Structure 1
């Protein structure tokens, strides 16, 4: 039986910031269920008109509960869905607990059987050839849904402020990671210390992300308050790459009221 709690959620608050839709829920739990409910409706609708649907998956703590719920929905025909992922560390084996392939195989691949699950081979012997291979895979059909989180420095995927390019000619590229981003992976429990985190990574570029038909960006919890504030308030620029979402009418930013009231910016006041 479908999880009926997904269809009985309290209404969320809506904001329109430039072209970006922002949904604000009462808690991280309601945020997750609301995002899953919308994803379910969107995917099931697409599957009535398309033979296959393509999804780019994100990783990290912001996605954990979302993916846990999404893969339990029995009405989604995963055999007609093609899966990709946003990024991967350079030189890391698929069996490494910090690998995004490891995360996605455990959280998704072990629970459903998609038509295809295309992984970025982080330990490929020829990284530039791997970029070309994955670019071709991504260009087989349009991306129907791209899932995102936002890093502490505003990165989406691994498009850091220093390497983000809103007009990037590449589909996927190799980048050097900022120390702040690498430390975030340690703080999230994926690596034991900073030296264990690879310095370079593969990432889908910002134009690739923005070409998706639908973008769901999840930013749950009070630790994302400053990130959401900057995304909604700062000038749209690569200084804080997530600001590009404000130019995307197909994007939805999901956040919640877990933040202390004194920390909320003007977009959260009174909601």
Structure 2
């Protein structure tokens, strides 16, 4: 803990500032850069910046572009990028040189000769010398004044994968399998992701005079906590930043959620024992003690820094019963509400029945992966169900699947003497051949990939008892005209959502994206929803509309976060798995980045079963599987 820091940060070795949003965090870092650049410009001196790529710093770069347009000059700024994929030329669409040009350099007045990115095309026998020259250029420029960092889910900074120590310098590295899996969509398949990269070393990064590490979204929460609170270790290279005298982590609330002060605040200081905090603490205590809720004792509370909870709320006996009942009341087999039943302790209202239920899926598969069982229930329980796929998901379709479809279209068209179909298929085939392994998809190719995913979504819906006529495909423009990490919401996206909402007039909405990386497809889809809901503020239907959040593929809400837990029978779980299996183009995807299991249907099954087991361990009824939801109150 830094001297003078508040007691609740006592476990944090690195100064960590938490912001309500990524934009506010980026404003803070942009202020620091602006102040330094302005000071150096006035003195006629250069400013040397170390820059990062990926979705994390994009909002920072947009803010710097805005400031340049407002008068801040970057003509004296010299930049050095952290890393580059080995084997990619600077004009490759996924090279980091291309990324920096697109996201920053082409939009500010920086001199081209002052921008430096490692040479991804250096010959193997010249890589060492090229890396040494890169380090020498940094020293000659005066050293890095400010280094901007993101962080990978393996704890890597730059491409310093686990095993990288504080003595490492700029070098050629082999990429971790999880890192390559995370980049798979950018490269249209993991098999296309380069296996090597050139990166500044941890030691090179530590030489910078000031470091800002940025992190957004719940996917980064675990590794942020380990980097900030756990002892430095080569298994988490970012943890070596603990040794830097001027390093600040700037994170949003989702990325900070595993820090002790947020996750277990009773362990580091006084707590305001709200009902939400009480439920969180008691469930944690039961799980830590490996006991059902009703068997926790006064000693369990006092021995785990929760004596003040007993003092404020009463005995363990009373607390246990209250939290047990609260948790039990989240369980329902009627996600749309049960008609003709007392709903005093049910998570969803019994009236109106049937409900107009709107399920928003940011990409095809998100809905069935996360709530396939609930989709089946809503359909069987005769609610007026609409499933809206907000984006086509065409960027996630491998070329091999498209080629198979092209061959089918050509053969069928020739047999039916359909000249137009054959002509289109052959044109797309030529575009596929021309773009090669790493080129960008043409509009025709993306359209065909989108149609493939529509077919998969319809097949999945039929298995879940949903008429394909109940499906909507919005194909929001931000996705159709963009690329991963480079999406931007438009007025047309919001208009399409407003039209859908006012047409359906839903009583309940199921959505995902809350707490995700702000530039991810789910987060942007959720942002479109929120803007659209504000636009519908005066609508009478909105007063009676509840919003239920599902967490996202590969993860689930923690028990204390769930407001509705829907049990699945073995048959219902089987329907769900078969529904996921219909998404053939996504079968090799691993939504949660799991090294254990790359098959999405097995990952979903294991996740739902684990949730049921967690409820069972707390002393509640035993179920085959459970899907969880959190009510969103804006």
Which one of the candidate residues 27, 34, 55 is aligned to 2:49?
55
C-alpha distance after superposition, 1:163-190 (max 9, x if no partner): x12123x3x111111101111112xx42
State the Cα deviation string for residues 235-270 of structure 1 (Å, max 9, x = none).
2111101111122121110111136x9x53313256
TM-superposition CA deviations, 1:148-207 (whole Å, max 9, x none)? 001110011111112x12123x3x111111101111112xx4211111111111010111
Residue pairs, 1:118-137, within 5 angstroms:
118-125=116-123, 126-137=126-137
**Partner of residue 234, structure 1:** 230
Aligned residues: 251
Normalising by structure 1, report the TM-score.
0.85
Which residue in 1 is equivalent to 2:165? 165
1:252 is paired with a residue of what secondary structure?
A: strand
Structure 1: how far apart are the matches of 2:64 and 2:261?
A: 29
Q: Is the 8 A contact 2:73 2:109 kept in 1?
A: no
Q: Once the 2 structures are TM-superposed, how far is the Cα of residue 19 of structure 1 from its aligned partner?
A: 5.2
**Structure 2 CA distance for aligned equivalents of residues 196 and 16 of structure 1:** 44
User: In the alignment, what sits opposite 1:176?
Assistant: 174
Q: Is the 8 A contact 1:18 1:246 kept in 2?
A: no
Select the structure that is richer in strand: 1
More helix by share: 2
**Cα distance in structure 1, aligned partners of 2:259 and 2:11:** 13
Query: What does residue range 5-16 of structure 1 map to in structure 2 within 5 Å?
Result: 15=9
Q: Which residue of 2 aligns with 1:203?
A: 199
Q: In structure 2, what is the equivalent of residue 93 of structure 1?
A: 89
Give how far 1:89 is off: 0.9
SS at match of 1:72: helix
Do residues 257 (structure 1) and 253 (structure 2) align? yes
- Post-superposition offset of 1:49: 4.3
**Aligned-residue CA RMSD in angstroms?**
2.2
**Equivalents in 2 of 1:20, 1:264: separation in Å?**
15
Q: 1:17 to 1:99 in 2, by over 3 A?
A: farther
Secondary structure of 2:66's partner? Answer: coil
C-alpha contact 1:28 1:258 (8 A) present in aligned 2: no
Contact persistence 1:27–1:258 (CA under 8 A)? no
Name 1:6's counterpart in structure 2: none
CA 1:165/1:217 → structure 2, altered by over 3 Å: closer, same or farther? Answer: same
C-alpha separation in 2, matches of 1:225 and 1:178 = 19
Q: Give the equivalent residue in structure 1 for 2:77.
A: 81
Check the 8 A contact 2:153/2:219 in 1, yes or no. Answer: no
Name the CA distance, whole Å, in 2 between partners of 1:245 and 1:128: 25
* Structure 1 stretch displaced more, 31-40 or 141-150: 31-40
Distance 1:99 1:34 in 2: 28
- Structure 1 residues 50, 223: CA separation in 2 closer, same or farther (over 3 Å shift)? farther
| 1:26 lines up with 2:20 in the alignment | yes
Q: Which runs of 5+ in 2 are unaligned?
A: 1-7, 266-270, 272-634
Residue 73 of structure 1 aligns to a residue whose secondary structure is helix
Counterpart residue number, 1:190:
186
TM-superposed deviation, 1:81: 0.5
- Bigger radius of gyration, 1 or 2? 2
- What are the ranges of 5 or more consecutive residues in structure 1 without an aligned counterpart? 1-13
CA distance in 1, matches of 2:13, 2:101: 34
Distance across 1 between alignment mates of 2:11 and 2:26: 21
CA distance 1:46–1:15, change in 2 (3 Å): farther
